[in-house]
Structure 1
Amino acid sequence: MGEALIPEIHDIGKLTNKKHNFEELNIDLNTATWKGIQEHHCSGNFTKYPTNLDTFLLCIADSKASAVSRAVRGKGHAVYNVYKLWKPPREKMTIPLIKTDKGIQEIINFIASKPTADEFFRKYERFLKERSEDANPGCNITSLYVHSKLTGQFYRILKSIKNKQIKDADIKGKTKGEISNLIRMVGNKWKITVLKVKIHFPQNPVRAKDMNVFKLMEEFIGDIKKRYPDNVMFSTSNELLILSPVESNLLEYMENRAEKFGFWLEIKSENQLIRGLNLEKMRNVSSKYFELSPKINPPICEICQLRKASREIVEGEVIEHLCEKCFNIRNLGATLPKLADWEKTGNPKVVYIKISLEMDELVAILKKLYISYLKEVGITNAEEVVEIRFSLLSEFQTDYNEFLSALETKIINKYGEENVQQILKDFLCIKIEKTSEIKQILKIYSEYFKNFFPKFRENLSPIKVSLTCANVKFPFIWNWKILDNPKDDINVSLIGKGEMNLKAKQIDELLNIKLPSIKLLHDLSRTSEISKKLAWIMLNDKSEKQRYREFEGLRKAILSSGIDYDDILIFAKIMGG
């Protein structure tokens, strides 16, 4: 039995109606993975328990990768489907548990073939994604798929801890009670560093080639995820949640890489006991900036304003002064080729659409939704027992990534691949003919947001969307200042003409407003630029009956929808363009 234990396969028995460690089958496959399947618990519910260091660490990893504390149990029968807090589930699984002797033998044969983790996920992915990790009511909030992946990550992190001071000899020959005490001791002594790192760039991008900085950020985050695949627990386009052994040099590596790229890092960290890993308690807050000269002689770089400009760029009558780093970013080449081509061939209108997700806000909102669910299943002290664990964020990550991918695919299908430039996975640029096309983009976003995250429409949403519209040659920095600072769930700005900010639940009301003719929208837009009061008089003027009737939809929206008058006027400008 010299092969490595594959921790991801430890709960394969949960796909059947048998005791999931298969101890009742009285089979010994004599492989490390089989031993992990049988020995990854140390409780009264199972006869078998860890008998070597690998299964001991797997037992701890399994617990850390669970959705909730084992103390949280609601009332009612087993619930095998996953209750996603942001999207209430179907009534039952579409794939039934494996109950036949033939089906169970197929699983045993699969385990005996010594599969890799990738082979396991390829074969059972759909089933694993439907089956909840814990079928107890109130605990069924993550899938067996996410739990299996996360157990593998935790297992390898625990294996990588140096000076564990526990060896095989400390495990072998011990009673279940002694192993249970040893697990408690480890939980109260071993520590892991929890890190939240947000990445920032100092540049104020002006031209399309200055936006290469986004591709550098993507490269930076991609490098961390590739180098430390087990340590990254959650990620967005500018934020990482990381677990690492206390003695790891992971943060130092990130800081060195950030300095090379010219980024600065906003860091929250805490060395936490394994027993009480907590997403909400990171008390050490710091920032890591790259070294700056104490004195910068002019000219100063016009893009980052942090370094001496060593390059002079002359294009026609325009002269720019750039530092070496910003010059190199601009000269990386056309990493956003469509944007560069649009700049060269004319000055078309473009819409930038940026999806933003704040991790701290996500945790807070998931906590509220979870409290509500726990109360539904009879847990009266939900506020006291609730906690958001890494597995729930991993479950959300899967759906969030699918949402971004589906949204981009739909937009490309609607506007054509030649008219859509991906800047980041959550950041697109769309070439349009008229500003009124923004309504269609909002409609697509609303449809997919409603499909993936219906609970966020009813409550507060951690996901924000911002759209800006301007000509492609307009300095990008003015778009970015709005895109990077969303004021509400849905934000739309016509650069230089105004913006509207809405709650997610208001979007359907906005999109369903009965609009007057394009000419009247033009007239209303021009009037509002002179005076909003005058525009209000125009909307309510009964002297022209036809116009009064056409404005009825806008009047109703202003008076009964809860959407601000200013936002309605901006929408009129959008639809009149």
Structure 2
Amino acid sequence: METEWPFRLVRCKVTFPQHPARAHDLGVFLRLAELMADLGAQDTVLLHTLTTLWMFLPTDKVIGLRDALKPLLDAGFIVGAEVAEAPLCDLSSNIFYRRPDLVQHIVLHPDMPETIPLTHDTPRICELCHVRPSRPAPERDEESGVEEFLCAVCAGFREKSSREGRFNKLGGSWEKENFPVAWVRIALDYDRLWCVLKDLFRRYVKANTDLPDDTIREHVNQLRDAALMVDFTRDYNDLLRHFADALRRDFGDASIEEIAGERPELLVVALKEAGQAFKIVDTFETEFRSVFPLCEDDSPISLSISISNAKYPFFEHWRFLDAPQQANAIRIQAVGRARLELSIPRFRALRNLGLEETKASSKLHNAAAVFARTDSHLLEQVDLLDGIKKFPNLFAATSQGFSVADLLAYHKIAGIGGVL
């Protein structure tokens, strides 16, 4: 029977070896977004985001895994793949958790020469990716005069972004005007989504039937959720579009660069006024609530924001933006200054306290200094509570369990914006 035919379910994570430093190095994301869109149009692809790809392949080798991913590999990308092979009737996304013994872990690299002879034609290794031989002639930056030896792939990414007129604000006017910028990444964690879908299904069955808990648990364990993940990804793409449109309305095109082309999962915003970093989060929260109202408490979608001056190396931001999702859906860092991580409901509660209007920065700094000297949260709280009734909003925040570190980080981030 057809349901007994073996198939492969493949989920992939796409990465790249480059360490983007200059604005035009971000052409790597333009190329990645194009390739993922092309692959996403194929019948074998179930779903994709900017860096995630799920495929459904036969096992007869007519379409091999490397052949299916060839466009990505030829463009210099690295693909980590988890491959589960099973009869069609038993193949769903939960097989990665239910039957880990059937899952292979594979890392596919672009074809590379075994050795790179260092001659006058290939004088050195590419300075951007460190894996391919460079072109004979160096690339010269017209503004700084710096010369770099790049391979054809990395030079191609720069040439692509330059040819398409991308990232001119980031590498030009924003640097000259010295505005802080916020790198914004939205990501969907499919491991967390699997848990969320199970919980939502359990709650739905419990609310609408009289089945005993053991029977409900059995139904949950048998849930075939691949189709649900495809539908969720479609709604996720709607969220991305709504979020990007709302940011353009709020900030204007002159303050936004979309890094990944047609996929607004990665963009950068110039913060020309204080408080605009939190305005980005407010926009995300509003659009998220309209699309996924039942997922706020345990969101499989995260918003990460990393703030610095425009010249700060992007690859340092990317380490933060591409880190696996933790418990909190909202993650904000001001490089070298502050870091704040909260769930969506906790962030909304903090925003509703109106702390921007509370001139309590010195009090928070003093309490933090007490902790730094004593390593005692008790003494930190004693210092904070001394005279805190002069700051009713701050008192309300501590009553709701927000830490001194959270409140101080909030104050620091709220003050970022305008010319540095």
Normalising by structure 2, what TM-score?
Answer: 0.82
Residue 555 of structure 1: how far off its partner (Å)? 3.7
1:301 and 1:321 in contact (8 A); partners too: yes
Aligned-partner residue type, residue 44 of structure 2: N
Q: How does 1:63-212 map to 2 (within 5 A)?
A: 185-188=1-4, 190-212=5-27
Contact 2:40–2:47 (8 Å) recurs in 1? no
The one-letter code matched in structure 2 to 1:273 is: P
Paired position in structure 1 for 2:271 = 432
Work out which of the residue numbers 257, 262, 286 in structure 1 matches 2:106. 286
> How far did residue 466 of structure 1 move?
0.1
SS of 1:563's partner is coil
Are 1:467 and 2:305 an aligned pair?
A: yes
Aligned mates of 1:323, 1:527 — CA distance in 2: 52
1:328 shift after superposition:
1.9
- Indicate conservation of the 8 Å contact 2:331/2:341, yes or no: yes
Following TM superposition, by how much is the alpha carbon of 1:517 offset from its aligned partner in structure 2, in angstroms? 4.9
Q: Structure 1 residue 573 and structure 2 residue 412: aligned?
A: yes
One of 348, 354, 357 as aligned partner of 1:514 = 354
Q: 1:294 to 1:244 in 2, by over 3 A?
A: closer
One-letter amino acid of the counterpart of residue 236, structure 1: T
Asked whether 1:556 is paired with 2:396, we answer yes
Number of positions where the alignment pairs a residue of Structure 1 with one of Structure 2: 382
Q: Deviations over 1:258-315 (max 9, x none)?
A: 2211111111122322222221224122111123445566844332222344453444
Aligned AA (1:467):
I
Paired letter, 1:334:
S
Distance 1:334 1:430, change over 3 A: same
Match of 2:158 among 326, 330, 353: 330
The answer to whether residue 35 in structure 2 is matched with residue 232 in structure 1 is no
Q: What SS does the aligned partner of 2:95 have?
A: coil
Distance 1:352 1:529, change over 3 A: farther
Q: 1:449 to 1:495 in 2, by over 3 A?
A: same
- Do the aligned partners of 2:259 and 2:267 also contact (CA within 8 Å) in 1? yes
The corresponding residue for 2:377 is none
Decide whether the 8 Å contact of 2:367 with 2:384 is kept in 1: no
User: 8 Å contact 2:24–2:166 — kept in the other structure?
Assistant: no
Q: Tell me, yes or no, if structure 1 residue 411 matches structure 2 residue 247.
A: yes
The change in CA–CA distance for 1:501 and 1:336 in structure 2 (over 3 A counts) is farther
Cα deviation for residue 448 of structure 1 reads 1.6
Q: Encode CA deviations 1:128-162: one digit per residue, 9 max, x unaligned.
A: xxxxxxxxxxxxxxxxxxxxxxxxxxxxxxxxxxx
Distance in 1 of aligned mates of 2:164 and 2:251: 17
2:231 paired with 1:395: yes
- The match for 2:259 is 423
1:536, 1:210 → 2: CA distance? 46
**CA–CA separation in structure 2 for the residues paired with 1:505 and 1:388:** 30
Cα distance change on mapping 1:258 and 1:342 into 2, 3 Å? closer
User: Higher relative contact order by CA 8 Å / sep ≥ 6: 1 or 2?
Assistant: 2
1:206-355 alignment, distance < 5 Å: 206-226=21-41, 228=42, 230-247=43-60, 248-249=62-63, 251-282=65-96, 283-294=103-114, 299-310=124-135, 311-315=137-141, 316=144, 318-334=146-162, 337=165, 339-345=167-173, 346=176, 347-355=178-186
CA distance in 1, matches of 2:132, 2:391: 54
Quick check: 1:516–1:550 contact (8 Å CA) kept in 2? Answer: no
Aligned partners of 1:572, 1:416: CA distance in 2, in Å?
Answer: 25
Distance 1:435 1:321, change over 3 A: farther
Amino acid at match of 2:237: N
Do the aligned residues in 2 keep the contact of 1:407 with 1:445 (CA within 8 Å)?
A: yes
CA distance in 2: counterparts of 1:476 and 1:435, whole angstroms: 22
2:204 aligns with one of 366, 373, 382: 373
Post-superposition shift, 1:532? 5.5
> What is the alpha-carbon distance in structure 2 between the residues aligned to residue 334 and residue 378 of structure 1?
62
The structure number with the bigger radius of gyration is 1
> Cα distance, 1:453 vs. partner?
1.6
Equivalent residue letter for 2:314: F
1:359 to 1:407, Cα distance in 2 relative to 1, 3 A: same
Q: CA separation of 1:427/1:389 partners in 2, compared to 1, >3 Å: closer, same or farther?
A: same
Secondary structure of the corresponding residue to residue 351 of structure 1: strand
Structure-2 change in CA distance of 1:324 and 1:314 (3 Å): same
* C-alpha separation in 2, matches of 1:433 and 1:514: 21
Structure 1 residues 233 and 506, CA gap change in structure 2 (3 angstroms): same
Once residues 9 and 147 of structure 2 are traced to their aligned partners in structure 1, the CA distance between those partners, rounded to angstroms, is 47
How far apart are residue 336 of structure 1 and its match? 7.3
1:495-510 correspondence to structure 2 within 5 Å = 495-510=335-350
| Deviations, residues 341-379 of structure 1 (Å, cap 9, x unaligned) | 342222322111111112222122211221222222233
Tell me the alpha carbon deviations over residues 432-462 of structure 1, each in whole angstroms, 9 at most, x when there is no partner.
213421121111111122222222213x221
Distance in 2, matches of 1:220 and 1:524, equals: 51
- The whole-number CA distance in structure 1 between the counterparts of 2:372 and 2:357 is 21
1:448 equivalent in structure 2: 287
**Partner SS for 2:20:** coil
> For residues 541 and 318 of structure 1, what CA distance do their matches in structure 2 show?
55
Deviations along 1:179-207, whole A, 9 cap, x unmatched? xxxxxx3323x222221122111111111
* C-alpha contact (below 8 Å) 2:370/2:383 kept by paired residues: no
> Secondary structure at the residue paired with 2:355?
coil
The whole-number CA distance in structure 2 between the counterparts of 1:503 and 1:193 is 36
The 2-side partners of 1:536 and 1:435 are apart by 28
Distance 1:327 1:518, change over 3 A: farther
Unaligned runs of 5+ in 2: 97-102, 374-379
Q: Which amino acid aligns with 2:253?
A: E
Q: Distance in 1 between matches of 2:384 and 2:396?
A: 11
Structure 1: gaps (5+ residues): 1-184, 543-547
Which whole-Å CA distance do the structure 2 matches of 1:334 and 1:524 have between them? 48
Q: Residues 489-547 of structure 1, C-alpha deviation per residue, up to 9 Å, x if partnerless?
A: 110010121211112221111211232658654x46876896765897874453xxxxx
Q: Which secondary structure state, in structure 2, belongs to the residue aligned with residue 331 of structure 1?
A: helix
Secondary structure at 2:107's aligned position in 1?
strand
Q: Distance in 2 between matches of 1:219 and 1:349?
A: 29
CA contact (8 A) 2:358 2:393 kept: no
* Partner Cα distance (2:247, 2:371) in 1: 34
